[in-house]
Amino acid sequence: MNAAVRRLTKRDVEDLLERYDEDPIGALSAALRRLLGGGADPDARTAVGPPGPESLEPPSGRAGDADDADWERLVRAAGFGPERTADLVAGDQAALDTLAAELNELRTIAR
């Protein structure tokens, strides 16, 4: 992935933490969309949609749209290691909690 990673604003982090207990994957998806170049819809959850701008690169080689990316595509586009990616995609609660804490503290993706 060549796209530059953005930083979350204080408001983005507040939104993440406010929504996290009710919908961890939805809250983290919104934050990753912001970081990966999407984020036009702050209330977007884990919608699946057609490919679009160059923020994400799906396996087909076509560019995808961070606003429409599902959870798995967002996690893969973030560039985490294979084990962490697998844990996040599987919805492992400890992995989700670690990512939420990391985004809260760093406001970006640690690689």
In which residue are the tokens 């919805």 written?
91
Q: What's the predicted TM-score (pTM) here?
A: 0.72
Q: Where are the domains of the chain?
A: 10-106
How far is Cα 10 from Cα 77, in angstroms, rounded to an integer? 23
Query: Is residue 26 helix, strand or coil?
Result: helix
SS3 assignment, position 8: coil
Query: What does the pLDDT profile of the chain (111 residues) look like in tens digits?
Result: 445 778 999 999 999 999 999 999 999 999 999 999 865 444 444 333 333 333 444 433 334 455 556 999 999 999 999 999 999 999 999 999 999 999 999 999 987
